[in-house]
Amino acid sequence: MTTTHHFDLLIIGSGTAGLTLALKMADQARVAVLSKSQLEEGASLYAQGGISVVLDKADSLQSHIDDTLRAGGGLCDEEVVRFTVEHARESIEWLIEQGVSFTRDDMITETYHLTQEGGHSHRRVIHSADATGRAVETTLLDKAKAHPNISLFPYHIGIDLITTRKHLATEQNSCLGCYVLDIKKDQPKTFLAPVTVLATGGAGKVYLYTSNPDVSTGDGIAMGWRAGCRIANMEFIQFHPTCLFHPKAKSFLISEALRGEGATLKLADGTRFMPAFHPQAELAPRDIVARAIDHEMKRLGQDCVYLDITHQSKEFITSHFPTIYKRCLKFGVDMAKEPIPVVPAAHYTCGGIMTDMRGRTDIDGLYAIGETAHTGLHGANRMASNSLLECLVFADAAANDIKKRPKTSLPADIPHWDESRVHPAKEAVAISHNWDELRRFMWDYVGIVRTTQRLNRARQRLSLLQQEIDEFYSQHHISNDLLELRNLADVAELIIESALQRKESRGLHYTLDFPETSEKSAQNTIIAEKKPT
């Protein structure tokens, strides 16, 4: 018999969005938080730059709004942008109340140090040295561990959402919880709750090179799509321009804050190239910087370019960027004396499950927040350091909405997970081979610069892979690797189909076949629920 857990609120994902929501709900609800790895593991932990917020008197809310809209390439929802920016300060104040320590600019006046990143017209990124995500994540996790109403489940990965339409054959589609795999025990479980929240982050691992941790396999987006949610703007995958280029570095991210402090991008011969691509040079929006680097690497046949911050003193570098300095030094690069070799890598999923401004999806009782969701904040390109802000603001908005929901009881006839017709797999080579092939052709054909021919090639390869994955899934016991591969294949389909639908270049989607932006295409790319296989 499958183990069944009952909670008032089920949160799948233990990053900034999930933990913020858990803490804001825990005083009045029994909350379960699931993490498919260690509780702190996720993109939030590795966020370096900081959080966008207007704190400087020379700055303004309207300026933050305008910068976000400009970076978003005409697809941001202005109402959502304004809502997010206007709630930024209270989100930061809440983090400070929880105990997050941000870097001070002046200990006497107790002002916070603000840095400037790509797309911003002012210094408005509050940070904790160069490890903001770690400071936020560990602080919130400590709070969650101490709360008696929060139950934490590490090494639990969602299999599929439990919905009334699929599992009880009703016309109305409501979410009742999730089937979950306990990875350590290799045991399926049933988690039931009147409200389920997807906060599983993005899908960077669909690409061969990514700044994301291994857990970023698009699980929430894929589960939501299979359950009946609409998905928007998956063609807009942000490639971070500067990740450390080293065979053992695993695409370690080099924060945009370095460029905010004057770091310049150079070719191997020491020549700067960004001024030729954009008036803001190194502080241009990320899509422009990433494409410029990609262009120069391909033009010259070079493996990388170089980020140079040697004009700053070693004391400045080690105090402002201690994590990056130590990591680079580990790989033989002293960034105080020499430029850092960098390449672009998949970084952020701007699209996701469509939600309203309270985090609600198309399915009653199902919410999505953080990178998993498409709120309309980012449009065609996310502006730097708006991501953690989105997690905080929309976790709060979702909490306020969930608190107003009427109390409901769940049906008594919810089926357990059925493994009666499958058998153990004799070998796992099919999973590992398909995993590698998927990530490689997504990088080659659906990367920074695209063409219709490349996208169609990717679609053909994916179709064959999905047939193999579906066959393997229907015949064998599930595993963490199989679930992640299945989810990545679904996410790849969403990205490819969205990219093929957009017959223009806009924001993060650049195609050589349609290099211009078309005003007729200034709308979201929306894909309805996944057709049953």
B/e letters for 305-324, b = 16+ CB within 10 Å, e = fewer, are bbbbbbebeeeebeebbeeb
From the list 124, 134, 226, 286, the catalytic residue is: 286
Distance CA 507, CA 348 (A): 13
**Beta bridge partner(s), residue 292:** none
Task: Answer for the pair 494, 229: CB distance below 8 angstroms, yes or no.
Answer: no
The phi, psi pair for 431, rounded to 5°, reads -70, -50
DSSP 8-state code for residue 29: S
Distance CA 68, CA 62 (A): 10
The token pair at 532 is 């049953």
Helices 387-404 & 16-25, crossing angle to 10 degrees? 30
Question: 177, 139, 138, 181: which is closest to 161 by C-alpha?
Answer: 177
The token pair at 353 is 């499950």
* Full DSSP string of 427-442: --HHHHHHHHHHHHHH
How far from the centroid of its chain's Cα atoms is residue 101's Cα? 23
Percentages (nearest 5) of helix, strand, coil residues in the chain: 40, 20, 45
Catalytic residue check, 286: yes
* Full DSSP string of 254-300: --THHHHTT-EEE-TTS-B-GGGT-TTGGGS-HHHHHHHHHHHHHHH
* Full DSSP string of 126-155: E-STT-HHHHHHHHHHHHHHH-TTEEEESS
HSE-CB at 172 with a 13 A cutoff on CA atoms is 5
Question: 310, 303, 312: which is closest to 342 by C-alpha?
Answer: 303
Distance CA 224, CA 363 (A): 9
Question: 431, 525, 445, 429: which is closest to 487 by C-alpha?
Answer: 431
Alpha helices in 55-171 (DSSP H): 61-71, 78-86, 88-98, 132-146, 164-167
Task: Answer for the pair 450, 511: CB distance below 8 angstroms, yes or no.
Answer: yes
HSE-CB at 295 with a 13 A cutoff on CA atoms is 12
- Beta-carbon contacts of residue 344 (< 8 Å; ≥ 6 apart): 209, 239, 240, 241, 242, 243, 290, 293, 294, 448
Question: 447, 455, 472, 458: which is closest to 533 by C-alpha?
Answer: 472
Residue showing tokens 């449009």: 379
Radius of gyration of the chain (CA): 22
Residues designated as active site: 286
